[in-house]
Chains A and B, each alone.
Chain A
Amino acid sequence: MRRMEKKDIMHLASLSRIRISQAEAEAFTKEIDAILEYVGAVNEITADVSLTKKVGVRHNIFREDKVTNDPEFYTQAHLRKAPHTSGR
């Protein structure tokens, strides 16, 4: 099992668009490394990974392609939630 390093955590933080401090990175490195060691136990099970694709009772749900609310019903309410709606 691969060990986490601080540079891996910095890279993951960058991918996740979260700015983290050096101190945070150090703490996360230790913690996430320990968590990964624990969850790596899933590899002790000889499971066929292709099983993933047929798990459960998944099937497509369709509905008619029609507008379910009046035009602009939600638009203004939602736009008001944005920090900025113009300019900058």
Chain B
Amino acid sequence: MTIKELRAQFVAGTKTPLEVVEEVFAVINEKNKEIHAFLDVYEEARSEAQAATERYAQEGDKAPELLGIPFAIKNNILIKGKKATAASKILENYVATYDATVIQRLKDAGAIIIGSTNLDEFAMGSSTENSAFGPTKNPIDPTRVPGGTSGGSAAAVAMGAAVAALGTDTGGSIRQPASFCGIVGFKPTYGAVSRYGLIASGSSLDQAGPLTKSVADAEVVYNIIAGIDPLDSTTIESDTYENAPLKDVYTIGIPRDFLGEGIDADVMEAFEAHVESLRAQGHTVVDIELPLFEKGLAAYYIVQPAEVSSNLARFDGMRYGSQVSGESLLDVYENTRALGFGPETKRRILLGTFVLSSGYYDAYYAKAEAVRGLMRTELAKAFTAVDAILIPTSPIPAFKFGEKSDPLAMYRADIFTVPVSLAGVPALSVPCGSVQRDGIDLPVGVQYIAPHGGDVRLFDIGKKVYDQKLKG
């Protein structure tokens, strides 16, 4: 069931929020032990659902837009009075003292928060295997990863334990798990959605966004959570970027040179079939060149660790989070961080510290930021000729646990999502078909990319190319 379908039924009185929340709890009781999508489940959702049911009886369609809709929330987004662990030992018992802006807005719109979902520690990884509390499994094939870092949120929606979820996307962390779990994932334009109350990973990259079953649902959630926030000065006005108008048919660009080696052959076939269906719908498909996109992965794995090494310096065992004692103050810092952080987090902090250090800053960090600037220019030029760009969301479908134990192999899986994040443009991942592995059909996703501020255009395209097929 989608948000739109449930809303219509709630208003008509043919289904109640209480029934839906009970259904969701039944799914969680049945499946969460194996799938481990949720870190915490909030029992008070039942009483909230009871209250929502009563409100619909009185208010009908005057009730707030998301009233009674069950949401799952990635556990690096602060919910007042609830644990916010970022899937790290260092924040294992940390309880949030305030609501993130996105949570405040969901609550104001009547959403019911069912629970918090698993992620890679501090949102670093591509499989949810980096969670300090154990991995999440893919509900479609539990021997495979759900993707990451918002793997818990994607699995929760895919297994029917939430109607929608919030994730965060730093280098693909909404889009890639959405594609691995066969749902819709949207990363907004950088600054479109407030980061206040998100546990920072890469501050110049992080964006919160929806994981849903339809593009129309992603749009509903986006409209609630987006907008300027006095508490996050990087949020943008609706006119910060030039308007990206909606059209009946679009010109879609494909950077063919970028789709070379490393993509599974059947993933490419699913992609090509999607391109054909675009043409059949009357859209124009053209080849474009984005030579710098190939370097996006290299630039990303300089910029992101650099920002992480700085952001995670605050976890020192002094102000909040866990503390491990020691002989001296230095010992307390070193012991706390040694036990509190997992291997990938340590790896990125060390890497980030290196690329920012004197003597190497210019060769790595400054260069990566310069490449990032050039990528933005290259993209802006491409968008003078096309309305949106289309590439696969991931070169491979969901992989097996432990398959990418080499960190660099794991990073390479992000090749198609990180350039988008570096440029700060919005991108939407929608399912486009499936490929078979070990006799199981695994979903494949494609990613539409629009210019800065083109979020609404992506919803329009997504509804045309995906939601219509859902109905058909």
Q: Which residues of A contact B (CB under 8 A)?
A: 8-9, 12-13, 15-20, 24, 28, 31-32, 34-36, 38-45, 47-52, 54-57, 61, 63, 68, 74, 77-78, 81-84
Contact = CB atoms under 8 A, between A and B. Distances in A.
23 contacts: A16-B309, A18-B341, A18-B346, A20-B338, A32-B350, A32-B354, A35-B411, A38-B411, A39-B364, A41-B295, A45-B295, A45-B370, A47-B370, A49-B370, A52-B373, A55-B369, A56-B424, A57-B240, A63-B230, A63-B233, A77-B97, A81-B319, A83-B321
A38 B316 contact: no
Q: Binding site of A, secondary structure by majority: helix, strand, loop or mixed?
A: helix
A55 B333 contact: no
Nearest to A45: B371
Q: Which residue of B317, B337, B341, B350 has the most chain A CB atoms within 10 A of its CB atom?
A: B350
Interface string B223-267: 000000010011000001000000000000000000000000000
Q: Which residue of A50, A52, A54, A84 has the most chain B CB atoms within 10 A of its CB atom?
A: A52
Interface string B306-338: 000100010011111111000000100111011
B301 A56 contact: no
Nearest to A62: B233
A16 B411 contact: no
A28 B97 contact: no
Contact of B337 (A9, A16, A41, A81): A16
Given A18-B334, A20-B338, A41-B298, A28 B371 contact: no
Nearest to A37: B408
B319 A82 contact: yes
B280 interface: no
B363 interface: yes
A28 B354 CA distance: 12
A38 B350 contact: no
B428 to A, nearest CB: 22
List 6 A-B pairs, minimum CB-CB distance, nearest first.
Answer: A81-B320, A47-B370, A55-B373, A61-B233, A19-B334, A83-B323
Contacts of B322: 83
A35 to B, nearest CB: 6
B50 interface: no
Nearest to A63: B230
Q: Which residue of A9, A13, A15, A45 has the most chain B CB atoms within 10 A of its CB atom?
A: A45
Interface residues of B, number: 60
A40 to B, nearest CB: 7
Contacts of A49: 362, 366-367, 370
Contacts of B357: 12, 15
Q: Which residue of A8, A51, A63 has the most chain B CB atoms within 10 A of its CB atom?
A: A51
Contacts of A18: 334, 337-338, 341, 346, 349-350
A56 B338 contact: no
B299 interface: yes
Nearest to A80: B97
B292 interface: yes
Interface in B341-360: 341, 343, 346-347, 349-351, 353-355, 357
A42 B97 contact: no
B408 A38 contact: yes
Contacts of A39: 298-299, 301-302, 355, 364, 368
A12 B373 CA distance: 28
Nearest to A29: B350
Contacts of A8: 354
A47 B408 CA distance: 25
Contact of B97 (A12, A47, A68, A78): A78
A42 B337 contact: no
B472 interface: no
B402 interface: no
Contacts of A54: 373
A9 to B, nearest CB: 6
A58 to B, nearest CB: 9
B322 to A, nearest CB: 7
A55 B376 contact: yes
B133 interface: no
B330 A28 contact: no
